[in-house]
Amino acid sequence: MNLRTNLAGVVLENPVMNASGTFSRESAEYTDVNKMGAVVTKGVSLEPWSGNPPPRIAETHGGMLNAVGLQNPGVEYFLREELPFWKKFHTKIIVNIVGKTPEEYMAVAERLRDADVDMLELNISCPNIKEGGIAIGTCAKQTERVTSAVKNAAKQPLIVKLSPNVTDIVEIAKAAEAGGADALSLINTLLGMRIDVKTRRPLLGNIFGGLSGPAIKPVALRMVYQVCGAVKIPVIGMGGVSNATDALEFLMAGASAVAVGSANFTNPRAIDSIIKELAAFCVDEVRGAARI
């Protein structure tokens, strides 16, 4: 069955990839990376980032909060140690890039110009860092400005990843499109918190964290539906995708591809089974279709 997907000129074998920050080199021991439409890296910054103090994870009913704060060893380490690992697989590579200032984002995109990667994903939607991230992605003007600056610095097609923590997602989506984005991805996590009633303290070291998982799927789907109706560039839908039916909902809402995030934690083989189920669904759709 042909699940091939064209994403801003980049051809994926199928429309399923991981969501940034939920899939590492270790995950490749569980999921067949060769079968993935693309692999998306964790946020990569110019310099190494240490991230937030623990605890960074809290479970919620049907979802989870994380406040990792984009811990990562930086772009030089990425190029030296991590990229060669992903290059061993036959899949497309999307690098999620992060920064505290527009200049930092640009510098990472610049550094990746000569790297053998297929797309960049501009993360202006992380709720767990104080500067950059969501501070940019919640403002239409800044979204357009940073998108266009990074687009100019980048060689590869640019995906802009949107935050759901806004009043009007369509306005931000249009701003990214106007800034020159080649594609959009949404949603990043919803800002939330938990309190431990025994200690009477916030459960997360960072107090607030990003909510993900099945609990956010209806919100994500609504936003993907709205954005797909308002922009011409392709959209990658994500937020709570944990099985093929979830993926189909996003595709039916207009998404060109879907990303699987927290479901990788509940089932480290989630992506494998979603791709298999999708292919089976497509076969079932057509089998006997001509027999009225």
Residues within window 102-131 making contact with another protein, judged by CB under 8 A: none
Binding mask 194-223 for another protein (x = CB under 8 A): -------------------xx---------
Window of 4-12, 26-34, 64-72, 224-232 that interacts with ligand FMN by CB under 6 A = 64-72
Would you say 228 and 235 are in contact if contact means Cβ atoms under 8 Å apart?
A: yes
Minimum CB distance to ligand FMN smaller for 110 or for 243 = 243
Comparison of 68 and 187: residue with beta carbon closer to another protein = 68
Q: Residue 257 binds which entry of another protein, ligand FMN, none, with Cβ cut-offs from 5 to 8 Å by kind? A: none
43 binds ligand FMN (CB under 6 A): yes
Size of the site for another protein (CB under 8 A): 42
Handedness of CA 196, 201, 206, 207 (dihedral sign): positive
Q: Does 264 bind another protein (CB under 8 A)?
A: yes
Asked if residue 7 binds ligand FMN (CB under 6 A), the reply is: no
Q: Is 269 in the site for another protein (CB under 8 A)?
A: yes
Phi-psi region of 36 (alpha: psi -120 to 50; beta: other; left: phi over 0): beta
Q: Does 243 bind another protein (CB under 8 A)?
A: no
Catalytic residue selected from 126, 139, 228, 282 = 126
Q: CB-based burial of residue 217 (10 Å sphere; 0-12 exposed, 13-18 middle, 19+ buried)?
A: buried
CA atoms within 13 A on the CB side of 130: 5
Residue type, position 214, single letter: P
From the list ligand FMN, another protein, none, partner contacted by residue 189 (C-beta under 5 to 8 A by kind): ligand FMN
* Residues 82, 41 contacting (CB under 8 angstroms): yes
By the rule CB under 6 A, 52 interacts with ligand FMN: no
Q: Is 126 a catalytic residue?
A: yes
CB of residue 125 to another protein, shortest distance in Å: 18
Q: For the CB of residue 88, give the shortest distance to ligand FMN in the complex, in Å.
A: 22
* 29 is a contact residue toward another protein (CB under 8 A): yes
Identify which range of 103-111, 199-207, 211-219, 269-277 contacts ligand FMN by CB under 6 A: 211-219
Q: Whole-angstrom Cα distance, residue 19 to residue 225?
A: 19
Name the pairing type of β-strands 10-12 and 5-7. Answer: antiparallel
Q: Which stretch binds another protein (CB under 8 A): 6-14, 29-37, 115-123, 182-190?
A: 29-37
Which partner from the list ligand FMN, another protein, none does 238 bind, CB cut-off 5 to 8 Å by kind? ligand FMN
Known catalytic residues are: 126
Q: Which residues contact another protein (rule: CB under 8 A)?
A: 21-27, 29-32, 42, 48-51, 53-59, 61-64, 66, 68, 71-73, 213-214, 262, 264-269, 272
